């Protein structure tokens, strides 16, 4: 019974950690997207 409790608890912790990693934006990805959108806007103005 104790193992079942810990397995369920650990599963929930891993689920929450994965959700937080997915929800918190990565600055490197944001920078790449921002640079790409700036390039696209500059090309459209030409």
For the segment 2-22, the average pLDDT, to the nearest whole number, is 80
DSSP string for residues in 28-44: HHHHHHHHHHHHHHHHH
Domain boundaries, the chain: 2-45
Q: Percent of the chain scored above 70 by pLDDT?
A: 85
pTM of the model: 0.47
pLDDT at 4: 62
How sure is the predictor about 41, in pLDDT bands with cuts at 50, 70 and 90?
confident
Place of tokens 């019974």: 1
Q: What b/e sequence results for 6-42 when a residue is b if at least 16 CB atoms lie within 10 Å of its CB, and e otherwise?
A: eeeeeeeeeeeeeeeeeeeeeeeeeeeeeeeeeeeee
For the segment 15-39, the average pLDDT, to the nearest whole number, is 87
Check pLDDT > 70 for residue 19. yes
């Amino acid at each position: 019974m104790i193992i079942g409790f810990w397995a369920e608890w650990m599963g929930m912790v891993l689920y929450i950690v994965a959700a937080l990693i997915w929800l918190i934006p990565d600055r490197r990805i944001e920078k790449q997207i921002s640079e790409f959108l700036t390039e696209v806007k500059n090309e459209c103005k030409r």
